[in-house]
Every structure is written in structure tokens, then in C-alpha cells.
Amino acid sequence: KAGVTQTPRYLIKTRGQQVTLSCSPISGHRSVSWYQQTPGQGLQFLFEYFSETQRNKGNFPGRFSGRQFSNSRSEMNVSTLELGDSALYLCASSLGSGDGETQYFGPGTRLLVL
Amino acid sequence: AQKVTQAQTEISVVEKEDVTLDCVYETRDTTYYLFWYKQPPSGELVFLIRRNSFDEQNEISGRYSWNFQKSTSSFNFTITASQVVDSAVYFCALSEAGGYSTLTFGKGTMLLVSP
């Protein structure tokens, strides 16, 4: 089975711009979660989608949004980029049928905001 | 609220040494799940192990072993006879029941194994 894929792998943007990141889960997985990783804050949960609905959300401003499509692929969008949004954005997928499922991560998208 | 503490920021060992990575967690739930992930320089988080709160049996997988102790809220990870390829950042994570498998991560421990 193919793993979780994320595109693009690297991005450079300037402050004020917006960005869209894409994630394709493992085949058969219906839950997609997004995490932000920075040197200062570590790994932080952004949101989780299941069946095109956001089920859970972390403590991030409204500039961070996401969506999920009927094929379980997910996108996250960050509007009005700030320097502090520079991070590795990781997507993870799981079956989505219960608690405590193992989440499998993609290679991440490295975003640099100048 | 849940919390995961990995007190060791960085550990350096020489190849073939044994090394233990500590993980202490906090949760009010009686049902929860613990995980270890490895993050090599490429950035992808690689799943290593999952444990639920009702299973305190220690696990061994090759050179890796895990010690889960509810009495001390710890879930420690030992690498026996470390190798250079073990160099990575290791994360311990917690997921609570009702949380849709959302992970709360520790800050990670960077392990450097030199030849």
C-alpha cells in the first residue's frame, strides 16, 4: 500500500500571502489529521477531518483552515501568512473508526515565510 | 488536560551502547493510548509502537523494547546495542479516549549515535 503523500514538499512564501497544502491518505483511511512542527512549540495538532467533516480542532487562529474531499484527500489553507507560520506541516491518516488508532504520517511540507 | 514530558532533550552514545529514552505522561482518563514515533532527518514521523492503558505488558521488537508502568505514568523506550542508523529524534505521544486519535506529543529526544 502506498503511504501518506503530501504536496508540495517545499514552499517559500512571503508575509501576507496564502498557501494551500495537500495530503492524500493511505488507501482506505478516512481520517486525516494535520500537525504543525516548529523548533519552539514542537508538534502541535491543527485539526482532524473524517468523512468531509472537521471532527476536532486544535488551538490555532482562524487563518488556518482545512477541508476534506469525498475521496478522503485533504487540504489545509493558511491565509495572511506570518513569519511564525514557517514550519513543517505534517499530515497523518488513520482508519477513523475509533479511538487511539495509529496515525501514519506523510513526509511533510516545509513552509518558509519570508 | 493531557501532557507528555520527555525530559531528555539530547542523548549522545557510541555505537553498541544501550540507551533508554524516558517518557512521562499525564492524563485524567482511565482509557488512553501511548505511542512512540521516530523522526529521521528527512522529517517523516515513523510509527514504532502503540500501547493502550489496559496492556502493561512490556514489549520487545528486535533491538527495541518498551517498558510501560502505570504506577509511575511512564512509557520508556530502550534501544539495545545502538547503531548509527538509530540517530533520529524520538517522540512519545498520548491519545485519550474520545479524542478521535488526536496525538499530544512530547518535545522529543534527539539521539545521536556515533561510530
pLDDT of B8 reads 98
pLDDT of A99 reads 84
pLDDT of A76 reads 98
Q: Which residue of A has its CA nearest to B5?
A: A42
Closest-CA distance, A28 to chain B, in angstroms, reads 17
**Residue B95 reports pLDDT greater than 80:** yes
Closest-CA distance, B114 to chain A, in angstroms, reads 23
pLDDT of A18 reads 98
| Alpha carbons A110 and A1: distance in angstroms, whole number | 25
Closest partner residue to A90 (CB to CB) among B31, B45, B107 is: B45
Interface contact flag, A56 B100, Cβ < 8 Å: yes
**Residue B99 reports pLDDT greater than 90:** no
If you average pLDDT over residues A91-110, what whole number do you get? 93
Interface contact flag, A33 B101, Cβ < 8 Å: yes
Contacts of A103 in chain B (CB under 8 A): 47, 101, 103
Say how many CB pairs under 8 Å bridge A and B. Answer: 73
**Residue A87 reports pLDDT greater than 90:** yes
Phi, psi (degrees; rounded to nearest 5) at A54: -75, 120
Q: Is B41 on the interface with A (CB under 8 A)?
A: no
Mean pLDDT, all residues of chain A? 96
Beta B109-114 vs B10-14: how paired, if at all? parallel
Closest partner residue to A56 (CB to CB) among B37, B50, B99 is: B99
pLDDT of A2 reads 84
- Counting residues of chain B whose pLDDT is more than 90, the rounded percentage is 85
What's the pLDDT band for A25 if we cut at 50, 70, 90?
very high
- pLDDT, tens only, B70-92: 999 999 999 999 999 999 999 99
What's the pLDDT band for B59 if we cut at 50, 70, 90?
confident
pLDDT of B1 reads 80
**Residue B93 reports pLDDT greater than 80:** yes
Omega within 30 of 0 (cis) for the link into A39? no
pLDDT of A97 reads 83
What nine digits make up the cell of A85? 507560520
Beta bridge partners of residue B14, listed in sequence order: B114
- pLDDT, tens only, B102-111: 999 999 999 9
Q: Residue A33: CB partners within 8 Å, gap ≥ 6?
A: A45, A46, A47, A48, A49, A56, A91, A92, A93, A94, A103, B101, B102, B103
CB A49 within 8 A of CB A32: yes
